[in-house]
Amino acid sequence: MDFKKRAKELVSKMTLEEKMGQMKYNAPAIPRLGIPAYNWWNEALHGVARSGTATVFPQAIGMAASFNDQLMEEVATAISDEARAKYNEYKTFGDTQIYQGLTLWSPNINIFRDPRWGRGHETYGEDPYLTGRMGSAFVRGLQGYDPVYRKTDATLKHFAVHSGPEGLRHGFNAEVDQKDLYETYLSAFRYCIDHAHPAAVMGAYNRVNGEACCASPTLMEILRGEFGFDGYYVSDCGAIRDIDMFHKLAASPDESAAMAANAGCDLNCGDAYVYLQVAYEKGLVSEEVITRSVERLMEARLRLGMFDDGCPYDSITMDVVESPEHIALNREMARQSMVLLKNDGILPLKGGETIAVIGPNADSQSILLGNYNGTPSQYTTLLRGIQEASSGKVNYARGCHLYKDDEPGSCGEHPYREAVLAAKRSDVVILCMGLDPTMEGEQGDAFNGDGSGDKVDLELPACQKVLYEEIIKTGKPVIFVNVSGSCISLVRQDEECAAVLQCFYPGAEGGHALADILFGKASPSGRLPVTFYRSADDLPDFTDYSMEGRTYRFFKGSPLYPFGFGLSYTSFTENWLDDKTVEVTNTGSMDSWHTVLQIRDTPYPTLIGFTKVWVKAGETVTAVVKQN
């Protein structure tokens, strides 16, 4: 079926005004051509987002920690099933509104170059190759495998060189040399285009070397010319107006709209393209440019089967949403996303201990969900998961607020003492601390207005530090569960706690998954997709986009936990038969997943291959490590 030809024929019947309308994210209907209204904006970062009930998988950074791109593809397939099912129902109303369509503005494949960036937990970490592999798996799962139609559209974002600071993003100029541009910031985009053929790319807010990303001739030539991208390009929301309002590269909104359209930005999230008519009347943009973009957009809608009967994905029903199969998959991904950073032998727990579960993240729903999330109709907090799995007594105390102290002399709760009493009555303490999505996230979403969603340092909040001191003083063994989407300085925890476990934001099944790890139902197998530094003092200035001194590839200091680090309850040996084939032997007593990482050491450490294998205790499996 020639969708390009059909798109050209359809667009040829539109007036110029009708064509311009189709370049807005909330495209109006054209009844005389049988084209219903369509809202292009939908999100699916780790589950169908902002559209009611959905399976909420671990946040992207957690799924990256699994180092399991096959499992990632299964997760994305489940997400696209749920998105299709919802669309199939929503379209019966005659149109689709925001968060109801098939065009999913995910995944975020920006490089998490600095742990202070608030949106880093939306990404797959600091390594371009890991990001490319996980991103490609996600795109394939979203778009499906039918030879004719796409199930949903995946959108790579944000193109390009975009990773904070959030507070400056609308006018920021990221200055980067060609080496860092291609080897780090563009690498995952090229990989995904080569290996997964995403339908769309979203432009970033910032400038790169002086050019606004949504109107950059240089970036567009790289994307379409060098990388061979053949899909449609959408602006981030409001980014085109940034060109005149903050970048000061245009004198008016019609000039901004013309600059973006001429460069090849096909779809506008925002209101800039309402000025296309003015730009056309001034001679700033031609009808040929408009037609080119609308043909790309109509081709996409045709490939999604929006105007055809008999699209195979039309039969997907709402029965898939939060199905037992998706819930089980969610729990497995959550287990594989958790990273054991220290264990003096206290884990796994036996199950009959008296346990104190303490901390502001212990019974929090927010830490399960991350951001850009859906709403699970059933979920298990860390506390509930432990309570369900333990055969002994579980004492719970919140201990403190997540980030603020009680006001002196107030009538509010003073929970430190309750936490100390709970610890003293218990054999072991599981201390659930860290951050939540209100403390790190996108500008405007997080409460920390001073940082616009970014972190100012890598420290735990002061009130949590006070609670930590009080619990350590009890002398009870502490299992420290850090919940965050990014690196937190855990220097003291590494020195003083019996075990340290990084949870990221683990999804609706997070409590069950954590309990599976703590009580030995599953062996931990996650690996860090980012470096855990000791302090923000170890890092260059946040606004410096040179990769020098950043990430495991270029950091010259001594990290607390390096990229790729993660412990297990069992032990493995690797016997390399050649440069791609390895025998993995489980020399311990527990069946477990094992991640094989292949890192080239020169001219600087670089991940060039990985695979994840299931190995039963005492057995050997032969694995081929994927390297491209």
Catalytic residues: 236, 440
Closest CA to 612 of 591, 626, 593: 593
Neighbouring CB atoms inside 10 A of 85's CB total: 21
β-sheet with 620-624: strand ranges across = 572-576, 581-586, 620-624
Which tokens hold the place of 350? 């036996």
What b/e string do you get for 141-157 counting C-beta neighbours within 10 Å, with b at 16 or more?
Answer: bbbbeeeebbbbbbbbb
CB atoms under 10 Å from CB of 421, counted, come to: 14
What dihedral do alpha carbons 543, 545, 547, 552 form, nearest 10°?
50
Residue whose structure tokens are 């080239």: 600
Tokens in use for 474? 């009890």
The answer to whether residues 268 and 260 touch, using CB atoms and an 8 Å cutoff, is yes
Burial label, 527 (beta-carbon count in 10 A; 0-12, 13-18, 19+):
buried
DSSP bridge partners of 26: 39
DSSP-assigned states of every residue in 78-133: HHHHHHHHHHHHHGGGSSB-TT-SSEE---B------TT-GGGGGS--S-HHHHHH
* Spatial contact of 191 and 132, defined as CB atoms under 8 Å apart: yes
The β-bridge relationship of strands 428-434 and 355-358 is parallel
**Nearest to residue 151, comparing CAs of 48, 81, 73?**
81
Distance (Å, whole) CA 510 – CA 613: 23
> How far from 397 is each of 239, 381, 413, 420, 506, CA to CA, in Å?
45, 14, 12, 9, 21
